């Protein structure tokens, strides 16, 4: 069982990652296009999960390009293999490995893509050092990582959601991660031969009818049972969080500020 990843690798999490990717897809496609990902490029997908971004990248770079996907979870790898097969993608090379203990496969990569992975590795410095070793001079490392998770709020405020968010942060830290994974990049990238070419925030203020609302809402739904399993909360608290969310969803004037994500593009310069 893939027990060592705090969010889990069960099928509900697999489905949640799919929804999360669909919600973020316009932002991500725009980012990749601005960075220069196109036909024939070679991309390293670091911590690819079930490969939602991987397959989009593979379709963009086409048969003359390649995507090398790195992931530890067997369940996610299986899902990625099935999707690649279903979409007849022959340009995805999947490696099952642990980013902390294994070598990254070398290749003449033009880009690396790393999203929501820095928050979960216990030594982000080691990951950036390995990435630096795998990328050649002139290639671009692209990150989408949390910059300030505590921006996540509902208006009118929901006290139980704010307590839930604190449990999330605490459990990610207890599992050896740091939710605001982007923060360390400003130091780690220059220390490992990169220079930051662009950095921009992605923060949304959404209403219940907007698709983006579903991203944090489904996270609440999948992570409540995890918190119960971990012994951090009881069923009664989970029910309160669900009831608060349901009442916000019935209020057409409710607003949600999403967790801040930073998009960082860095060039390998030495």
Ligand X SMILES: C[S@@+](CC[C@H](N)C(=O)[O-])C[C@H]1O[C@@H](n2cnc3c(N)ncnc32)[C@H](O)[C@@H]1O
Tokens of 7: 């969010």
Residue 44 or 248 having the CB closest to ligand X: 44
The answer to whether residue 73 forms part of the interface with ligand X (CB under 6 A) is yes
* Angular region, 36: left φ>0, alpha ψ -120 to 50, beta rest: left
Span 44-63, contacts to ligand X by CB under 6 A: 47-49, 52-53
The answer to whether residue 222 forms part of the interface with ligand X (CB under 6 A) is no
User: Among residues 8, 16, 35, 76, which is the contact residue for ligand X, using CB under 6 A?
Assistant: 76
**Residue 183 contacts residue 211 (beta carbons within 8 Å):** no
Span 136-175, contacts to ligand X by CB under 6 A: none
| Parallel/antiparallel/unpaired status of strands 260-268 and 194-202 | antiparallel
Buried/exposed code over 163-187 (b: 16+ C-beta within 10 A; e: otherwise): ebbebbbebbeeeebbbbbbbbbee
Residue 17 or 44 having the CB closest to ligand X: 17
The answer to whether residue 71 forms part of the interface with ligand X (CB under 6 A) is yes
Residue 122 Cβ vs ligand X, minimum distance, rounded to whole Å: 8
Residue 10 or 242 having the CB closest to ligand X: 10
Beta strands in 121-211 (DSSP E): 140-148, 153-155, 194-202, 205-206
SS3 state at 42: strand
Q: Which residue is nearest to ligand X (CB)?
A: 49
Residue ranges binding ligand X (CB under 6 A)? 5, 7, 17, 21, 47-49, 52-53, 71-73, 76, 98-100, 115-117, 120-121
């Amino acid at each position: 069982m893939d027990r060592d990843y705090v969010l889990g690798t069960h099928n509900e999490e697999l489905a949640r990652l799919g929804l999360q990717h669909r919600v973020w897809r316009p932002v991500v496609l725009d980012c990749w296009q601005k960075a220069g990902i196109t036909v024939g490029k070679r991309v390293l997908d670091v911590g690819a999960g079930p490969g939602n971004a991987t397959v989009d990248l593979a379709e963009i770079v086409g048969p003359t390009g390649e995507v090398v996907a790195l992931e530890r979870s067997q369940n996610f790898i299986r899902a990625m293999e099935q999707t690649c097969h279903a979409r007849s993608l022959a340009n995805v090379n999947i490696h099952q490995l642990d980013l902390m203990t294994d070598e990254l496969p070398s290749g003449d990569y033009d880009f690396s893509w790393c999203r929501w992975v820095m928050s979960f590795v216990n030594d982000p410095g080691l990951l950036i050092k390995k990435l630096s070793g795998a990328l050649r001079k002139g290639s671009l490392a692209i990150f989408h990582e949390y910059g300030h998770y505590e921006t996540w709020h509902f208006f009118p405020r929901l006290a139980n959601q704010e307590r839930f968010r604190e449990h999330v942060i605490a459990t990610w830290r207890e599992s050896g991660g740091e939710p605001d994974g982007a923060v360390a990049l400003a130091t780690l990238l220059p220390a490992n031969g990169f220079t930051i070419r662009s950095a921009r925030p992605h923060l949304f203020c959404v209403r219940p009818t907007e698709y983006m609302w579903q991203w944090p809402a489904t996270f609440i739904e999948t992570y409540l049972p995890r918190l119960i399993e971990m012994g951090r909360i009881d069923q009664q608290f989970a029910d309160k969080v669900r009831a608060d969310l349901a009442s916000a969803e019935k209020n057409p004037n409710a607003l949600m500020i999403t967790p801040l994500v930073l998009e960082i593009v860095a060039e390998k310069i030495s």
